[in-house]
Amino acid sequence: MLELLSRLNEKSDVYSYGIVLLELLTGKKAVDEECNLHQLIISKAANDAVMETVEPEISATCGDLGPVKKVFQLALLCTKKQPSDRPTMHEVVRLLNFLAKPTFLHQRSSYFLHLHFHRQYQAT
């Protein structure tokens, strides 16, 4: 039990949050008989096809899917294999706040997320 508790920390919470984001974005369960959602998204991201997995209702109601793609990138950062490569929850909140700002600020958040994504995610 002590070993399990020692592995549960902020970085494991960040991982879980990333999985919840993936479930919300796709409308799929994290694990079911057909696939492992995280592996599916990693595979799609490698082929620049992650937007194919977006929940149809999101696609139908969002005029601009750019922020949705950024949230996919954030979810992938949160679910990096190495806990030290994952952002802190403070960084996650900061990124989400950037994404929630008016459109003219999205360029700034896009640039920040792009830099963070490539620095962290491409290192694997």
pLDDT in tens, the chain (124 residues): 545 555 668 899 999 999 999 999 999 999 888 889 999 999 999 999 999 999 999 888 888 888 899 999 999 999 999 999 999 999 999 999 888 876 544 454 555 555 555 555 454 4
What is the amino acid identity at position 83? Answer: P
Look at residue 93 in the predicted model and tell me its pLDDT. Answer: 94
Question: Who contacts 88 (Cβ-Cβ below 8 Å, separation ≥6)?
Answer: 10, 14
The confidence score (pLDDT) of residue 106 equals 46
CB 75 within 8 A of CB 41: yes
> Which domains, ranges and CATH numbers included, belong to the chain?
9-121 (1.10.510.10)
> Residue 84: its pLDDT value, please?
93
